Amino acid sequence: MSPVAGAALPDLATSGGLFARLRDAARPSWESYVAHPFVKGMGDGSLPEASFRHYLVQDYLFLIHFARAYALAAYKADSLADMRSAARSMSAILDLEMGLHVKYCAGWGLSEADMAATPEAQATLAYTRFVLERGMAGDLLDLHVALAPCVVGYAEIAAGLLADAATRLDGNPYRAWIEMYADPEYRTVAHAQVELLDRLSSARGGEARFADLTRTFDAASRLEAGFWEMGLTLAG
Ligand SMILES: Cc1ncc(CN)c(N)n1
């Protein structure tokens, strides 16, 4: 069942946990991401359709690389439990999240083949390759910190929109987007990411690496804001 507007969903981050500390340390970049004008435009329905369309096609391409990043996480995992968790995240992207993109675009006469053939925008290239590079050059903790703004941020954004009095669901063309990321199924994925960060942090010396991890988290949050900006300005 989808959550309803006006019902605030609780914060996914455990207070004192790694995710909450990274978010606090990278607050200005995080806010530029979760409170971007693109987000507000989806909430009240005022976002131009061309911007959403441009974003969604790029997001389809983005998700292909994010699925690859989870394949990398499975490769880098040192336990079967972590391999299974990476495989679940990869299939959630390929089977659940990308399905919404394909459905939306079909409504506008855009086929999956059209989307796959669209050139990647600079913001898409920058963000996806940054995450893959953090994973390849670093370890599993570096990779999951780079992935966290993506996975957890959308759950926070959708929950924030539902709690915002300016949000209008009736007749809102972006309602399915909001409801998908506020859905308990997506929140479960996001919550698992928050818990995984804590587990990886204690196993891999996260405390001593906090400054470095913050740089990664901050950069990924700025790249998320850049992704919205690309959608808003129709940048290639
Ligand atoms: C750019 C971006 N960031 C996050 C998500 C949510 N997984 C997404 N689909 N696209």
Q: Is 165 strand, coil or helix?
A: coil
CATH domain 18-233 topology: Heme Oxygenase; Chain A (1.20.910)
What is the pLDDT at residue 69? 98
**224 is a catalytic site residue:** yes
Alpha-helical (H) ranges within the chain are 18-25, 27-34, 37-44, 49-76, 80-91, 98-107, 112-117, 122-137, 140-163, 175-182, 184-203, 210-233
The Cβ of residue 183 has, within 10 Å, a number of other Cβ atoms equal to 17
Mutate to test the pocket of ligand 1, among 56, 63, 185 (most ligand atoms within 8 A of CB): 63
Average pLDDT of the chain? 93
From residue 44, alpha-carbon distances to 48, 50, 159, 164, 203 in Å are 11, 16, 14, 10, 43
Contact residues of ligand 1, CB 6 A cut-off:
59, 62-63, 97, 150-151, 154, 224, 227
Q: How far apart are CA 77 and CA 89, in angstroms?
A: 13
Distance 102 CA to ligand 1 centre (A): 15
Check pLDDT > 60 for residue 122: yes
pLDDT for 12 beyond 70: yes
What Å distances lie between residue 37 and 50, 55, 71, 231, CA to CA?
Answer: 15, 13, 32, 11
Summarised one tens digit per residue, pLDDT across range 53-84 is 999 999 999 999 999 999 999 999 989 989 99
The CA distances from residue 100 to 25, 95, 110, 152, in Å, are 33, 9, 13, 18
State pLDDT tens for residues 78-115: 899 899 989 989 998 998 889 888 988 888 788 999 99
Q: What is the mean pLDDT of residues 11-15?
A: 81
Q: Are 181 and 157 in contact (CB under 8 A)?
A: yes
- Distance between CA atoms of 107 and 122, rounded to whole angstroms? 26
Tokens matching residue 123? 């913001």
210-235 core/surface letters (b: 16 or more CB in 10 A; e: else) = beebbebbbbbbbbbbbbbebbbeee
Which among 105, 150, 156, 179 is annotated as catalytic? Answer: 150
- ipTM above 0.85? yes
